[in-house]
């Protein structure tokens, strides 16, 4: 099932590039998207300063994390509050694999990625069968478990405890050296590409059969079960899929920063991703990514004097109560959450 879904996704991504996807029938739209892609990849590296680029890089990484949160929220109706443990965990594992296991950078990357995917699969297998509210509580608990585990005295030699870990790698990852990842301009191109790939992949999955099943399960799990559908596996696949996106973001982050701090596993990273998703609107792929960028720049503007957390809390309340569709997702957003309360139906995005 997983293979089929992901190959379907990649085929769709491929067809978008070649002939235009189902919704992008107009060549004009395709050209516009291509122009945005190329201009977005090149222009900032030419015109923006290092500081702005750094904020942009952070914004895109947060956007990828927000993308994973939003996808699960929109398609499966599940709110994950443990994104940070995957994001920070992947980075930390990479650092450990580099420092302690003496792997090559590429080997460390693969090892940490595999371990985190296995972890996400096992955790998902345990928790996706619960109801959405319990799921939310369990992801929060699992996230806290990981951040506690990192701080354990016995693992201090491995994880660095509260000090975090420095990663310095020699050699290349995907043909890039450490200095390339550290350069804001060159990293921008990498993270821009990764964000697009993640966004397109999740968008395609949302439009695939898997997405349709997920939305149907979200609306009424019992009905789907009675209709002979497996309601467990699709949600597990979705959970693993979004965690793959989060893990990629975490690995990119550590390649860029060259450092993992225990804070990157903390609950505030998870809530930041949630806020970015809510700000951008959870429907579609553009909203959450834009939300991540907005968050990053807004944090720089208003987040001084330790106000970030306070504003995060305010943003959660305001965006759910007043602007439930976010800045971008004015089309569908969280409409289903309210229509469902009245037993209504909703056009799926």
Partner 1 sequence: MIALLIANSLALASLLIMLASGLALIYGLRDVINFGHGAIYMLGAYLGYTVSLVGGFWLALVVVPILLALLGIAFEYLALRPLQGRSHIEVALVTLGLGIILGQIIIFFYGGVARSVDAPQILSGSVTVLNLSYPVYRIFLIVMGLGSCVLLALWLRFTSSGLHVRAVSQDPSVARMMGINADRLSLLVTSLSTAFAGVAGVLAGPYMSIDPGMDVTMIVNCLIIVVIGGTGSIGGAIVAALLFGFMQVAGSVFLPNIAALVPYILLMVVLLIAPRGIGRGRVLS
Task: Give the three-state DSSP class for 82.
Answer: coil
Least distance in Å: CB of 277 to partner 1?
A: 11
Least distance in Å: CB of 204 to partner 1?
A: 26
Least distance in Å: CB of 126 to partner 1?
A: 5
Interface residues with partner 1 (CB under 8 A)? 77, 79, 81, 126-127, 129-134, 136-138, 140-142, 144-145, 148-149, 151-154, 267, 271, 274, 309-310, 312-317, 320-321, 324, 334, 337-338, 340-342
In terms of CB distance, is 34 or 145 closer to partner 1?
145
* Closest by CA position to 165, among listed 99, 114, 253, 109: 99
Least distance in Å: CB of 169 to partner 1?
A: 30
176 phi and psi angles, rounded to 5 deg: -115, 145
In terms of CB distance, is 132 or 258 closer to partner 1?
132
Least distance in Å: CB of 79 to partner 1?
A: 6
Task: State the DSSP string of 94-122.
Answer: HHHHHHTS---HHHHHHHHHHHHHHHHHH
In terms of CB distance, is 32 or 310 closer to partner 1?
310
**Neighbouring residues of 310: CB distance < 8 A, sequence distance ≥ 6:** none
In terms of CB distance, is 45 or 261 closer to partner 1?
261
Least distance in Å: CB of 247 to partner 1?
A: 20
Residue 265, Cβ neighbours under 10 Å: how many? 29
Cα 206 to Cα 329: distance, rounded to the nearest angstrom: 15
In terms of CB distance, is 52 or 136 closer to partner 1?
136
The number of angstroms, rounded, from the C-alpha of 213 to the middle of its chain's C-alpha atoms is: 21
* Closest by CA position to 106, among listed 97, 115, 96: 97
* Closest by CA position to 111, among listed 134, 95, 132, 88: 95
Between CA 192 and CA 199, with CA 198 as vertex, the angle to 5 degrees is 85
Least distance in Å: CB of 182 to partner 1?
A: 31
In terms of CB distance, is 24 or 337 closer to partner 1?
337
In terms of CB distance, is 4 or 148 closer to partner 1?
148
**Neighbouring residues of 284: CB distance < 8 A, sequence distance ≥ 6:** 74, 203, 328, 329, 331, 349
Task: Give the three-state DSSP class for 323.
Answer: coil
């Amino acid at each position: 099932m997983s293979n089929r879904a992901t190959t379907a996704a990649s085929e769709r991504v491929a067809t978008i590039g070649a002939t235009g996807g189902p919704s992008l029938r107009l060549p004009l739209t395709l050209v516009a998207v291509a122009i945005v892609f190329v201009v977005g990849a090149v222009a900032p590296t030419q015109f923006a300063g290092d500081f702005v680029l750094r904020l942009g890089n952070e914004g895109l990484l947060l956007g990828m994390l927000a993308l994973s949160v939003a996808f699960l929220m929109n398609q499966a109706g599940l709110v994950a509050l443990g994104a940070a443990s995957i994001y920070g965990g992947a980075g930390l594992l990479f650092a450990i694999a580099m420092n302690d296991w003496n792997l090559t950078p590429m080997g460390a990357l693969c090892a940490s990625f595999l371990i985190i995917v296995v972890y996400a699969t096992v955790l998902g297998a345990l928790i996706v069968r619960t109801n959405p509210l319990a799921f939310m509580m369990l992801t929060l608990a699992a996230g806290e478990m990981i951040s506690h585990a990192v701080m354990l005295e016995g693992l201090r030699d491995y994880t660095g405890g509260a000090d975090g870990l420095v990663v310095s790698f020699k050699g290349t990852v995907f043909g890039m050296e450490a200095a390339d990842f550290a350069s804001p301009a060159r990293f921008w191109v990498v993270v821009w590409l990764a964000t697009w790939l993640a966004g397109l992949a999740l968008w395609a999955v949302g439009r695939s059969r898997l997405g349709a099943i997920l939305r149907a399960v979200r609306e009424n799990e019992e009905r789907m079960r009675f209709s002979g559908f497996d309601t467990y596996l699709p949600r597990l696949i979705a959970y693993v899929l979004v965690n793959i996106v989060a893990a990629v973001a975490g690995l990119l982050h550590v390649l860029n920063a060259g450092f993992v701090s225990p804070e990157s596993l903390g609950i505030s990273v998870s809530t930041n991703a949630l806020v970015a998703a809510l700000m951008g609107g959870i429907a579609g792929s553009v909203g959450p990514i834009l939300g991540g960028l907005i968050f990053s720049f807004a944090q720089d503007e208003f987040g001084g004097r330790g106000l970030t957390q306070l504003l995060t809390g305010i943003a959660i309340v305001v965006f759910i109560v007043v602007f439930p569709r976010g800045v971008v997702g004015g089309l569908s957003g969280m409409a289903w959450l309210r229509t469902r309360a009245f037993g209504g139906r909703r056009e799926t995005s």
